[in-house]
Amino acid sequence: MKGEWTSEQELLASTLEDFAKQELEPDASALDEKEGFNRAAFQKMAGLGLLGITVPESYGGAGLGCVEATLAMEKMGAACASSTLSYLAHSILCVNNLSENASDAQKKKYLPKLISGEWIGAMAMTEPGAGSDALGLRTKAERKGDSYVLNGSKTFITNGPEASVFVVYAKTGSTKKDISTFIVEKGFPGFKVGRKLSKLGMRASPTSELSFENCVVPLANRVGEENHSVSHMMRNLNIERITISGISLGIARACVEYAANYAKERKQFDQTIGSFQMVQERLAEMATNAAAARALVYQAARAYDSGDRDLSLGAMSKLFSAQIATRAGLDAVQILGGYGYMKEYPVERYLRDAKLMEIGAGTNEIMRVLIARELLEGDV
Ligand SMILES: Cc1cc2nc3c(=O)[nH]c(=O)nc-3n(C[C@H](O)[C@H](O)[C@H](O)COP(=O)(O)OP(=O)(O)OC[C@H]3O[C@@H](n4cnc5c(N)ncnc54)[C@H](O)[C@@H]3O)c2cc1C
């Protein structure tokens, strides 16, 4: 839409589109099949300044905001949603979190290698017994002199098998909110990356369990005050929900484009299937939903950048965009008929990848809980 973007954002969008077409799309299907990881693309993202997209320039980042980070997710998500999910875990869940909450010394120690792509980052909140109820986590960190000793386990951690640095949440007190954040390096004693988990979709984004058995973490690696991490967690979840919505927008757009092109070519009953009104209706609904989601997601991103940290707007953008991405995946498969169900065409991958958007970073149900809570408990 004319006037939607600044000239810098337009340049970023076209750079991202070219990058996604050249570096992500060609391998997306093969990496999905073998559950590979596009390490080379990560290195190239570093070259484009994408790995520290929201980090201030004074710390070597691009100094951009939530709008630009969402744009990156959208453009790359259309080509390879799973590589983009790994990029999100690195750049938002880990790097942005450190940029916002870590001390100057911690930023100077960790950000350069994360931004240059030498290290890949991850964030570990979820545990086998604590998913939606994130504050119910049980990994414990006990202070022993100048260190903390961590015990517990995490699961579903994006980039787990590839990461060198993990932002880890652990309990440091007796109440539900006594949570602290730690920076754990892969080589710390007592830390182990567990099983790599095989998945329905997002298969080029490696996921694993983690375990901490008397894992010794220096005091210098605690981020912020002890027992004060719930606010970090919530703030980072908000930007995560908005930026991850960009991946849903990318998937939805890929579905609309692929299905529309197919409908122009495929002939049945001596006419293109695009001439049938039922196919037209499906395409029109897909495109309208994608446009509506886009408007909502960028409204949330702009609000975030202007300092308005309205949690329910982020939740709405995550909920609506995830729903329309899955719907678009189903519709695209339907428009391609039997071919849509085959691995030779990308739409079945779009559908499998889209489903994660309704689960990761908070399920659709939890988004509804957040939105309803705001309506029922806040000033409407
Ligand atoms: C591919 C993938 C990547 C991920 N990456 C990361 C990562 O990098 N780091 C990380 O920390 N976590 C990560 N996660 C974890 C993700 O955030 C959780 O899976 C998600 O929050 C849901 O938690 P759960 O899986 O334990 O489901 P549960 O919380 O057990 O939920 C099961 C069902 O119950 C419903 N439910 C639960 N509570 C309520 C309620 N109060 N009201 C209504 N319904 C409810 C849920 O909506 C869901 O349908 C990832 C997950 C996946 C699948």
β-partners of residue 158 are 207
Q: Which of 240, 257, 281, 358 is catalytic?
A: 240
Q: How far is the CA of 11 from the centre of ligand 1 (A)?
A: 36
pLDDT at 188 over 80: yes
pLDDT band at 181 (very low <50, low <70, confident <90, very high): very high
Mean pLDDT, rounded, for 351-371: 98
Please tell me if the CB atom of residue 157 comes closer than 6 angstroms to any atom of ligand 1. yes
Residue to probe by mutation, ligand 1, list 363, 364, 365, 366, most atoms within 8 Å of CB? 363
- CA count, 13 A, side-chain hemisphere, 30: 5
Name which residue sits closest to atom 30 of ligand 1, judged by CA: 131
Task: State the distance between the two ends of the chain, measured CA to CA, in whole angstroms.
Answer: 31
**Domain boundaries, given as residue ranges, for the chain:** 7-119, 122-223, 230-377
Region 79-90: mean pLDDT is 98
Residue 98 near residue 107 (C-beta atoms within 8 A): yes
Domain 7-119 has CATH 1.10.260.40: no
Of all residues in the chain, the percent with pLDDT exceeding 70 is 99
Instruction: Clarify whether 209 is annotated catalytic.
Output: no
Q: What is the mean pLDDT of residues 293-314?
A: 94
Mean pLDDT for the stretch of residues 208-228: 98
CA 125 to ligand 1: nearest atom: 11
231-249 tens-digit pLDDT: 989 889 999 999 999 999 9
Number of the ligand 1 atom closest to the C-alpha atom of 122: 8
- How many angstroms separate the alpha carbon of residue 209 from the centre of ligand 1? 14
Q: What is the mean pLDDT of residues 26-49?
A: 97
Query: pLDDT class for 2, splitting at 50, 70, 90?
Result: low
CATH (one of 3.40.190.10, 2.30.30.40, 3.40.50.300, 1.20.140.10) for 230-377: 1.20.140.10
Nearest CA to ligand 1 atom 6: 157
* Token pair in block for residue 41: 């693309």
Question: Domain 122-223 classified CATH 1.25.40.10?
Answer: no
pLDDT tops 60 at residue 193: yes
97, 162, 359, best to mutate for ligand 1 pocket (most atoms within 8 Å of CB): 359
DSSP alpha helix (H) spans, the chain: 7-19, 25-34, 39-47, 66-79, 81-88, 97-101, 104-116, 230-265, 277-305, 311-336, 347-356, 364-377
> What percentage of the chain reaches a pLDDT higher than 90?
96
**Mean pLDDT on 155-178:** 98
Ligand 1 atom index nearest CA of 364? 47
Q: What is the pLDDT of residue 277?
A: 98
Residue nearest to atom 53 of ligand 1 (CA): 360
Output the average pLDDT for the chain. 97
Per-residue pLDDT band for 379 (boundaries 50, 70, 90) equals low
Range 338-343 average pLDDT: 98
Decide whether any atom of ligand 1 lies within 6 Å of the 131 Cβ: yes
Q: Is the CB of 361 under 6 A from ligand 1?
A: yes
Is beta strand 121-124 parallel, antiparallel or unpaired with respect to 165-171? parallel
How high is the pLDDT of residue 21? 97
Residues 6+ apart with CB under 8 A from 284: none
| Atom in ligand 1 nearest the alpha carbon of residue 132 | 29
What was the pLDDT predicted at 235? 86
Indicate if the pLDDT at residue 380 is higher than 60.
no
* pLDDT greater than 80 at residue 105: yes
Of 133, 156, 179, 364, the residue with max ligand 1 atoms within 8 A of its CB, to mutate for a pocket test, comes to 156
Per the CB < 8 A criterion, the answer to whether 290 and 252 are in contact is yes
pLDDT at 58 > cutoff 80: yes
What pLDDT is attached to residue 4?
A: 80
pLDDT of residue 17 exceeding 60: yes
Q: Which residue lies with its CA nearest to atom 31 of ligand 1?
A: 132
Give the residue whose CA is nearest to atom 7 of ligand 1: 157
